[in-house]
């Protein structure tokens, strides 16, 4: 079996793309998107008719058009996969709990109108305190959430306490930060802070029986991916999925429920808003990467808005 086939026996593979052709070819169980991926999907020549129709329907209201197109791409993806799609709330709402809740409810109503089972949708938002609190409420309403832009253990702990369905620790962005801080070009998987972060979160969750799933994300290499073989889910870009499919090497499980339970016991922690804020202030990686990630998602949405505005004119 290829490395990809072996990996599939121990981990759910998620396609990190909004490219429908890639999803149809790769046949992942789940798919996840973010604004930059949505932008790439919507500027594809095959989608120009859909873009034009949606622009006309909403009379050029760019925010309404982006929301409608996001749902449409989500529906299109769900036609090609058996599992779930993650649909991201506007990153401009990352520090507004109530606005995030309202937008999530709008998205779920839109999926319902499209006859999509709510179990097949994850609402994705940044793992700020406000985003986590929004997810806490949404989960009580049967709306499953994927907390993204997760870089620190304190974020993971708060997400588990809030009962969120899924978290997405950003492995590659942590590695990028580590390389910059340490002035290194190459870092082995054994020393990779991004890989270590996911392993630590996974261990903590499994030791304390949390149902929240861990989905490693933002990979830079197949070495990072294989170092997390056995994680609940891994969301992987198409080019890296193709590399794994072409690789003929044995793949061994690196993390498991049994390994986590046999590891050094970790104390269970609960964080209120003040404790979360204090932990954030002590976590240089999250301080650097979380705001930057939110700004990046906002920028991607702005880029799409500009594209749509140009079409309208």
* Whether residue 124 lies in the annotated active site: yes
Beta bridge partners of 32: 16, 86
Which of 124, 199, 261, 284 is catalytic? The answer is 124
Helix H or strand E encompassing 231: none
Helix H or strand E encompassing 83: none
Asked if 125 and 133 count as a contact pair (C-beta separation under 8 A), the reply is: no
Residue 121 phi/psi, 5-degree rounding, is -125, 135
As a residue count, the chain comes to: 313
Residue 38: Cβ-neighbour burial (10 angstroms; 0-12, 13-18, 19+): buried
* Nearest Cα to Cα of residue 123 among 62, 80, 166: 166
Helix (H, G, I), strand (E, B) or coil at 29: coil
Asked if 22 and 238 count as a contact pair (C-beta separation under 8 A), the reply is: yes
Maximum separation of any 2 CA atoms in the chain, in Å: 62
Nearest-angstrom CA–CA distance, 39 and 273:
34
Active site residues: 124
């Amino acid at each position: 079996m290829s490395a990809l086939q072996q990996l599939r026996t121990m981990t759910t593979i998620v396609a990190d793309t909004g490219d429908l052709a890639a999803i149809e070819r790769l046949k992942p169980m789940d798919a996840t998107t973010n604004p930059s991926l949505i932008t790439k999907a919507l500027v594809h020549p095959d989608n120009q008719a859909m873009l034009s129709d949606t622009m006309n329907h909403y009379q050029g209201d760019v925010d309404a058009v982006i929301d409608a197109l996001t749902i449409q791409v989500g529906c299109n993806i769900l036609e090609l996969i058996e599992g779930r799609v993650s649909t991201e709330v506007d990153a401009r709402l990352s520090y507004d709990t109530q606005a995030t809740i309202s937008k999530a409810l709008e998205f779920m109503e839109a999926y319902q109108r499209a006859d999509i089972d709510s179990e097949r949708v994850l609402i994705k938002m940044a793992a700020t305190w406000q985003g986590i609190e929004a997810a806490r409420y949404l989960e009580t309403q049967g709306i499953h959430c994927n907390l993204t832009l997760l870089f620190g253990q304190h974020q993971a702990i708060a997400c588990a306490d809030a009962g969120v369905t899924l978290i997405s620790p950003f492995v590659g962005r942590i590695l990028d930060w580590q390389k910059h801080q340490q002035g290194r070009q190459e870092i082995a998987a054994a020393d990779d802070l991004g890989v270590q972060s996911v392993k630590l979160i996974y261990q903590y969750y499994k030791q304390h029986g949390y149902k929240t799933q861990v989905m490693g994300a933002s990979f830079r290499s197949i070495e990072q991916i294989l170092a997390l073989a056995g994680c609940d889910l891994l969301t992987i870009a198409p080019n890296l999925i193709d590399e794994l499919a072409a690789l003929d090497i044995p793949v061994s499980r690196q993390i498991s429920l049994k390994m986590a339970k046999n590891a050094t016991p970790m104390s269970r922690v609960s964080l209120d808003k003040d404790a979360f804020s204090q932990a954030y202030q002590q976590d240089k990686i999250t301080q650097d990467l979380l705001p930057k990630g939110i700004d990046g998602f906002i920028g991607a949405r702005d880029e799409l808005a500009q594209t749509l505005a140009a079409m309208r004119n």
